[in-house]
């Protein structure tokens, strides 16, 4: 049985550090589903995951593209890194044909796939996934992350 865990993230740096920590348990083939409202910190968390995986290229909030592939580099401890594909499914709005066209199941052979706004849309792509739910209070920098492996 998967157990969910909670973390309070006081600053954006905390969120990035949490992402680096999560990356320690991620391998090629792992799917990460990030959920939470606009500005909750999904991209910030992805930046931390990218740093922990040691991928190349800057993580940004993709405005015109839906998926961005980052090549593998080196993990912070010097061990071989793993590639990452960063998907923003916001504009997919659950369109399964468009999702199919992204060919994420192929990416999952060699990369970690991180999907913002992917809840309820991408879970079928892998046998199990790491779900991270980010919540925020109005007028506050504090975020709460609840995460669990599902499947
Ligand atoms: N504790 C925190 N964790 C993450 N981000 C924070 C925190 N405190 C403040 N912020 C700010 O909140 C914003 C989070 O933006 P981010 O793009 O990561 O959110 P998002 O969930 O990806 O949004 P979107 O749904 O638009 O993609 C950034 O401007 C960041 O600096
Ligand atoms: Mg984002």
Using alpha carbons, select from 45, 44, 52 the residue that is nearest to residue 21. 52
**Segments forming the whole domain that contains residue 44:** 5-150
Indicate the top mutation candidate among 13, 36, 41 to test ligand 1's pocket, ranked by most ligand atoms within 8 A of CB. 41
**CATH number for the domain including 109?**
3.40.50.300
What is the tens place of the pLDDT at every residue in 49-81?
A: 999 999 999 998 866 678 999 999 999 999 999
Query: What pLDDT shows up at residue 124?
Result: 94
Contact 39, 136 (CB under 8 A): yes
Which residues have CB under 6 Å of ligand 1?
9-12, 14-15, 36, 38-44, 61, 116, 141, 143
Using alpha carbons, select from 31, 6, 39 the residue that is nearest to residue 147. 6
In whole numbers, what is the pLDDT of the chain averaged over residues? 94
pTM of the entire structure? 0.96
Q: Which atom of ligand 1 is nearest to the CA of 34?
A: 21
Ligand nearest to the CA of residue 117, numbered in listed order: 1
Contact 6, 135 (CB under 8 A): no
Q: How many folded domains does the chain comprise?
A: 1
Query: What pLDDT shows up at residue 64?
Result: 63
Burial class (CB in 10 A: 0-12, 13-18, 19+), 106: exposed
Percent of the chain at pLDDT above 90? 84
Residue nearest to atom 1 of ligand 1 (CA): 11
Is 15 in a helix, a strand, or coil? helix
- Cα(40) to ligand 1 centroid in Å equals 5
Query: What pLDDT shows up at residue 96?
Result: 87
pLDDT of residue 1 exceeding 80, the answer is no
Contact 114, 86 (CB under 8 A): yes
How far is residue 89 CA from its own chain's centroid?
11
Indicate the top mutation candidate among 42, 44, 91 to test ligand 1's pocket, ranked by most ligand atoms within 8 A of CB. 44
Q: pLDDT band at 95, cuts 50/70/90?
A: confident
């Amino acid at each position: 049985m998967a157990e969910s865990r909670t973390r309070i993230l006081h600053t954006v740096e905390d969120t990035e550090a949490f992402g680096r920590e999560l990356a320690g348990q991620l391998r090629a083939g792992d799917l990460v589903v990030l959920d939470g409202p606009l500005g909750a910190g999904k991209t910030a968390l992805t930046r931390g995951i990218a740093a922990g995986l040691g991928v190349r290229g800057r993580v940004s909030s993709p405005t015109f593209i839906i998926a961005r592939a980052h090549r593998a580099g080196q993990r912070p401890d010097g061990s071989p890194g793993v590639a990452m594909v960063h998907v923003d499914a916001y504009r997919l709005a659950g369109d399964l044909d468009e999702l199919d066209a992204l060919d994420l199941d192929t990416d999952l052979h060699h990369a970690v796939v991180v999907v913002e706004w992917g809840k309820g849309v991408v879970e079928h792509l892998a046998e199990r996934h790491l779900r991270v739910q980010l919540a925020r209070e109005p007028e506050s920098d504090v975020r709460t992350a609840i995460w669990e492996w599902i499947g």
